[in-house]
Amino acid sequence: MGQAQSQFSEEELQDYEDLTYFSKREVLKVHQKFKALAPEKVGHNKNAKLSMSKILQYPELKVNPFGERICQVFSASRDGDLTFEDFLDMMSVFSSYCPKPVKAEHAFRIFDFDGDDMLGLSDLRQVIDRITGPQHLSEQELQHFIQNILEEADLDDDGALSFAEFEHIIDRAPDFARAFSMHL
Amino acid sequence: MSGGDRKKRADRGEGWEEAGAEFYQESYPGEMDLDHVLQKDPHHLATLLPSKHTRTTTARKKDTKATLRRRTSTRSYCGTVRQNTTGVNNEVQVSIMPDLSENLSNEERTWEEIMKLKTLPVSMAEKKEMKARLLSAETFRLQGLDQLRWQKKKCCLRLKFYYNQINSFFSIWELKLRRLEKDCGTGIVSFFTFFKSLIFLNYAMSWFIIKLLVIPVYFLQKHKIEENDIAADNDNSTEIIDFCPIIYQNISNSAELNFDVGTVFSFIQGTGWIQSTPLFYGMYPAESIPLFNTRINLAIIYLVVLMCYHAGFFIDLAKKFKKSFKQRLLKNQGQFYLYCNLAFSSWDFSIASKKAALARHKSVFSLVREFLKIQRQKDDKQHQTTDESCKLLVIRFTVNLIVLLIYFCSAAIVYYTIQHCTLMRDVTLNYYQTLLNEYLPAMTIVTLNHLIPLIFNYFIKFESYNAFCTQHLSFIRAIILRLLLVSVLFFSIFTVASCKPNKSECVSSSCKTPLCWEVYFGQQIYKLLIFNLVVEILLTFFINFPRKLLASHMSNNFAQFIGNQTFNVRKHILDIAYIQMICWSTAFYAPLLPMLTTFVLFITFFLKKFACVVNCAPSASLYPASELQSLFVFVLSSFYIFSIIPWAYSVLEIMPSKSCGPFRGQPSVWLIFSQALHDFPSWVKMFAQFCSSSWFVMPIIVTLVLLLYYYYSVSIANQKMVLVLKKQLILEGHDKQFLLNRLSAFIRQHQEKHKAMARSVDTPRIK
């Protein structure tokens, strides 16, 4: 840890502690994890930008069906490449101290594949496709499922879930905060 | 964000700031924006709606500052609207930044703003910049009391933060459980966390008993022996009651602790020397202890301590029940988003192994299909012919009959085993035969507990319920079986114990009541507890582990069929609650049993973990954490209520044995309470009498009933309101869409008219 410590100044760490849900100790731990993804690159430059494929080596993201999407959402340059600060942002959102509304905000962005700020039919289709993984629901089942989702939560009947509707769902989902977490 | 950008933004933003920087202003674009967007594309009208507007930007390109709707209500942020004229998508973008012009903020406010920055969905660089701006802005220093208050608040928050950190760092097994989370997901881990908290509670409660009861009694005994026991010998009373304890003591003393095979056997059986340890009720004397100038009867202390033990669990369970009850209510009121939950929170982001991920995909897939199938079946039910439904009804009825028959048979088996063992006790047997004889009832109960559910699972297939009903039904049947068998045990003990002895004998000889039935009761449960543990160990290491080895080393179908096992959490919850239940039911007659139970639960924890990590493949079925916890709470609380029944019955109705324990010579345990009431000052007596009188109880009951009715009607009214509002929302949505369509059509028309006019103006000129 000694080396990692020397890479950050005290002010930087204080900034990170104020702006994320981590303590200084945990920030250093996150950095270690980040460094483990590409030791030589990060060793040179603590805030190096790692490509999406490198980031996806992180065990939780590797098996996560939304891995690429997560990278895109948290990447400051929007291309999926993450700097350490982006990575720290991501881990902060996924930490267990992060409150549910903040998690919901990011979850919405992750699930909103086409970026139109609504979870439309195509978004829902993608989400379902990704969580069922290698098995695929038949077209009819998929339609049925989406229809059920919209029936439950689409309050204004416009065929898509807005953020307010999504927030409402999350409010009623007892397991969401726990499921939407990655531990250090 | 480049400097130029900011400048532009500031320029455009000025107008708003002057106007007073209110939330809604950010949402309504200037007319120029409107015209611009409409000219480009009338269909884009929807994006200009206030509700959409605040969020359009969150997912946008890099120069966008995001807004959160909940944040817009705080005044210190001011929205500035600007138009991205250079971008390809001409969209209105909203940015939000700390409003520096309005910065009347003091230290406290600045600090709060900084703390809030972390909730913003923007990149770290932007957050840093915001923070720097907030810090560099001029702030008022807080003075006097305010300063003190702020410092205190800051300090408290800090302390809380560090407390959380330290807590999570030091909590036992936390790290190991975290590691488990990567392989099994949060559901299973929540099961283990709950289990862990149960162990801790047991540990705390058993220490409570030890400190307040066992240790004082131990010193009392020692003290008494050191003094002298001549006084007791001089007592020339001829009543039989005084001889009974002596007989019992002689029997207990004859079984002295000498280290040979017999000692071990008596330890396993809970007989002999272990009877005279504080583990069992028999050892506690009927004395009074000097305490603050008065003498308090030990029996009272005994009763109060053990009632506190039960009350402790009651409070804990009530707390947990309240939490899970809320969820259940939501689910039952139909306000639970089943499919949405499945879509958005069924993926565990903490899963980190390929195998677990595949299992999770598979389980989500099968769950979705199962839900859809159930829904289809519900729709089909109306079309079902009467023939089919009759056939199904007959099958289900038959299966239920079979289940009842099995219940009856297993209860009979347990009953006759116990009878047989009681008879065999009079025959002289060698060590091993005695051991077998003593353990036969426990063996029968535990074996049946594990075997009969397998039979039930075989039969339940014929009933053709859906997967969830099948799970629930088999679980409930297993619960009933366990309760039934253990109540047969209680029943046979109580029939023996409730025989009233003649005046001239210590115990009823016609019923063959043991000299101290309380100890006998404790022993039976002690044996059940131990044998249950033994079976758990055997099952985990000698049956399921070899099965796992078989499955992993041989690939033929048979081996896979035999060896593949999944972690059936419901069964494990039942196992744990069962241990807890038998402890609760007997804690009164064996004050050290809670400690023993803590130990047993501790070992069980590792057995279950071994079963989960080594024996079982990643679970194919999805267990949401909240559901598991509420299931655990439900089983525990029903078992708690069940365990209170034998305890309350024996305390209230059965006469304590004459020869042992603190209640010897009393007609019933409860009477000692009313006797003790005599010694209390008169106002206490008055109060107690008042509390138990109908003048006090009736109004309270009536008030409670009225309250219940009131809340019930409020909830009904609310439910209706929710429905009405939902309908209204849908109507509003329709209205909105309708208006938007009309508006865009109108604008298009307008534009076309313009064009046509322009053309008509142009054409004559050409001509």
> What DSSP letter does each residue of B353-401 carry, written as one string?
-HHHHHHHHHHHHHHHHHHHHHHHHHHHHTT--HHHHHHHHHHHHHHHH
Chain B residue numbers with beta carbons less than 8 Å from the beta carbon of A175 are: 186, 341, 345, 624-626
Find which of B179, B333, B349, B730 to mutate to test the A interface (most A CBs within 10 Å of its CB).
B349
Whether B95 contacts B57, CB under 8 Å: yes
**Which tokens go with B732?**
């509003």
Closest to B108 (Cα-Cα) out of B77, B149, B144, B76: B149
Q: Which of B118, B357, B372 sits opposite A19 (nearest CB)?
A: B118
Q: Which of B128, B350, B625 sits opposite A182 (nearest CB)?
A: B350
Separation CA A12–CA B575 (nearest Å): 51
Instruction: Determine contact: B128 vs chain A, CB below 8 A.
Output: yes
CA distance B197 to chain A (A): 18
Instruction: Determine contact: A86 vs chain B, CB below 8 A.
Output: yes
Whether B48 contacts B104, CB under 8 Å: no
Whether B637 contacts B644, CB under 8 Å: no
pLDDT of res. B84: 36
Separation CA A120–CA A150 (nearest Å): 10
Closest to B565 (Cα-Cα) out of B465, B692, B485, B454: B454
pLDDT top residue among B93 and B468: B468
Instruction: Determine contact: A66 vs chain B, CB below 8 A.
Output: yes
DSSP assigned state of B72: G
CA distance B59 to chain A (A): 6
CA distance B649 to chain A (A): 40
In this prediction, residue B445 has a pLDDT band, given cuts at 50, 70 and 90, of very high
Q: Do A128 and B368 touch (CB under 8 A)?
A: yes
Separation CA B355–CA B618 (nearest Å): 7
B359 residue type, one letter:
A
Handedness of CA B231, B236, B240, B241 (dihedral sign): negative
Separation CA B489–CA B448 (nearest Å): 13
Give the number of other CB atoms < 10 A from CB of residue B417: 20
**Which tokens go with B3?**
């400097």
In this prediction, residue B133 has a pLDDT band, given cuts at 50, 70 and 90, of confident
| DSSP codes, B594-650 | HHHHHHHHHHHHHHHHHIIIIISBSPSS---HHHHHHHHHHHHHHHHHHHHHHHHHH
Q: Do B733 and A155 touch (CB under 8 A)?
A: yes
CA distance A51 to chain B (A): 17
The pLDDT tens digits of the residues spanning B371-387 come to 888 888 888 877 777 88
DSSP assigned state of B541: I
Q: Which of A23, A156, A163 sits opposite B733 (nearest CB)?
A: A156
Chain B residue numbers with beta carbons less than 8 Å from the beta carbon of A78 are: 61-62
pLDDT of res. B367: 86
Q: Do B58 and A105 touch (CB under 8 A)?
A: yes
Residue B81 pLDDT more than 70?
no
The pLDDT tens digits of the residues spanning B23-35 come to 333 434 444 455 5
Q: How many residues does chain A have?
A: 184
The end-to-end CA distance of chain B, in Å, is: 54
Most confidently predicted of A115-124, B164-173, B502-511 = A115-124
Is B105 in a helix, a strand, or coil? coil
Separation CA B97–CA B26 (nearest Å): 12
CA distance A40 to chain B (A): 23
pLDDT of res. B32: 47
Q: Can you tell me which residue has the tokens 């989406």?
A: A146
pLDDT of res. B45: 65
CA distance A37 to chain B (A): 15
100-159 of A, contacting B, C-beta below 8 A: 101-102, 105-107, 109, 111-112, 115, 117-118, 124, 127-128, 131-135, 137, 141, 144-145, 148-149, 152-153, 155-158
DSSP assigned state of B280: S
Q: Do A131 and B358 touch (CB under 8 A)?
A: no
Give the number of other CB atoms < 10 A from CB of residue B714: 10
pLDDT top residue among B319 and B81: B319
In this prediction, residue B242 has a pLDDT band, given cuts at 50, 70 and 90, of low
Q: Do B349 and A102 touch (CB under 8 A)?
A: no
> Following CA atoms B728, B729, B733, B734 in sequence, which dihedral angle do they give, to the nearest 10 degrees?
-20
Who contacts B180 (Cβ-Cβ below 8 Å, separation ≥6)? B188, B189, B192, B609, B612, B613
> Following CA atoms B353, B358, B360, B365 in sequence, which dihedral angle do they give, to the nearest 10 degrees?
170
pLDDT of res. B171: 63
Residue of A nearest to B738 (CA): A158
The end-to-end CA distance of chain A, in Å, is: 15
Find which of B89, B120, B124, B167 to mutate to test the A interface (most A CBs within 10 Å of its CB).
B124
CA distance A53 to chain B (A): 16
Residue B85 pLDDT more than 70?
no
Beta bridge partners of B297: B288
Residue B67 pLDDT more than 70?
no
Separation CA B176–CA B184 (nearest Å): 12
Separation CA B205–CA B216 (nearest Å): 17
Percent of chain B clearing pLDDT 70 (strictly above): 78
**Which tokens go with B663?**
């209640």
Chain A residue numbers with beta carbons less than 8 Å from the beta carbon of B127 are: 19
Q: Do B123 and A137 touch (CB under 8 A)?
A: no
Separation CA B78–CA B83 (nearest Å): 16
Chain A residue numbers with beta carbons less than 8 Å from the beta carbon of B362 are: 133, 135
Separation CA B255–CA B271 (nearest Å): 9
Cβ burial of B688 (10 Å; 0-12, 13-18, 19+) is: middle
Instruction: Determine contact: A175 vs chain B, CB below 8 A.
Output: yes
Who contacts B698 (Cβ-Cβ below 8 Å, separation ≥6)? none
Q: Which of A99, A101, A179 sits opposite B186 (nearest CB)?
A: A179
Find which of B44, B340, B372 to mutate to test the A interface (most A CBs within 10 Å of its CB).
B340
Instruction: Determine contact: A173 vs chain B, CB below 8 A.
Output: yes
Whether B283 contacts B273, CB under 8 Å: no
Closest to B16 (Cα-Cα) out of B24, B5, B7: B24
Q: Do A180 and B345 touch (CB under 8 A)?
A: yes
Separation CA A82–CA A89 (nearest Å): 10
pLDDT of res. A46: 76
Q: Which of A62, A88, A137 sits opposite B124 (nearest CB)?
A: A88
Q: Which of B56, B121, B729 sits opposite A155 (nearest CB)?
A: B729
**Which tokens go with B232?**
């007791």
Q: Do A157 and B730 touch (CB under 8 A)?
A: yes
Least confident of B151-155, B223-227, B734-738: B223-227
In this prediction, residue B39 has a pLDDT band, given cuts at 50, 70 and 90, of low
pLDDT of res. B601: 95
Tens digits of pLDDT across chain A (184 residues): 444 456 788 888 888 888 888 888 888 888 888 888 888 888 778 778 888 888 888 888 888 889 888 998 888 888 888 888 888 889 999 988 888 989 998 999 999 888 888 888 888 998 898 888 888 888 888 898 899 888 888 877 778 888 888 888 888 888 888 888 888 7
Cβ burial of B47 (10 Å; 0-12, 13-18, 19+) is: middle
Residue B228 pLDDT more than 50?
no
Q: Which of B59, B345, B350 sits opposite A112 (nearest CB)?
A: B59
**Which tokens go with A27?**
């920030």
Residue B16 pLDDT more than 50?
no
pLDDT of res. B47: 63
Whether B39 contacts B72, CB under 8 Å: no
Q: Which of A63, A145, A182 sits opposite B354 (nearest CB)?
A: A63
Residue B91 pLDDT more than 50?
no
Find which of B1, B118, B163, B329 to mutate to test the A interface (most A CBs within 10 Å of its CB).
B118
Phi, psi of A50 (to 5 degrees): -105, 145
pLDDT of res. B101: 44
Is B97 in a helix, a strand, or coil? strand
Whether B81 contacts B92, CB under 8 Å: yes
Instruction: Determine contact: B767 vs chain A, CB below 8 A.
Output: no
Instruction: Determine contact: B131 vs chain A, CB below 8 A.
Output: yes
ipTM: 0.90
For chain B, the average pLDDT equals 77
The pLDDT tens digits of the residues spanning B294-306 come to 677 788 888 889 8
Least confident of B214-228, B351-365, B566-580, B621-635: B214-228
Q: Do B182 and A173 touch (CB under 8 A)?
A: no
Whether B730 contacts A156, CB under 8 Å: yes
The pLDDT tens digits of the residues spanning B449-483 come to 999 999 999 998 888 888 888 888 999 999 999 99
Residue B227 pLDDT more than 70?
no
Handedness of CA B604, B608, B611, B614 (dihedral sign): negative
668-727 of B, contacting A, C-beta below 8 A: 726
Beta bridge partners of A119: A161
The pLDDT tens digits of the residues spanning B245-281 come to 777 777 766 655 566 667 777 778 777 777 777 788 8
Cβ burial of A173 (10 Å; 0-12, 13-18, 19+) is: buried
143-172 of B, contacting A, C-beta below 8 A: 161-162, 164-165
| DSSP codes, B489-535 | HHHHHHHHHTPPPPTT-SS-TTTT--SSHHHHHHHHHHHHHHHHHHH
Tell me how many residue pairs between chain A and chain B have CB atoms under 8 A apart: 210
Separation CA B461–CA B469 (nearest Å): 11
Find the angle CA(B603)-CA(B192)-CA(B584) to the nearest 5 degrees. Answer: 60
Beta bridge partners of B95: B80
pLDDT top residue among B239 and A159: A159
Who contacts B61 (Cβ-Cβ below 8 Å, separation ≥6)? A78, B87
CA distance B81 to chain A (A): 18
Whether A160 contacts A121, CB under 8 Å: yes
Whether B283 contacts B277, CB under 8 Å: yes
Is A166 in a helix, a strand, or coil? helix
In this prediction, residue B43 has a pLDDT band, given cuts at 50, 70 and 90, of low
Rg (CA), chain A: 18
- Please give the average per-residue pLDDT across B115-122, as a whole number: 79
Q: Strand pairing of B92-98 and B288-291?
A: unpaired
pLDDT of res. A115: 82
Most confidently predicted of B10-19, B551-560, B758-767 = B551-560
**Which tokens go with A123?**
């978004």
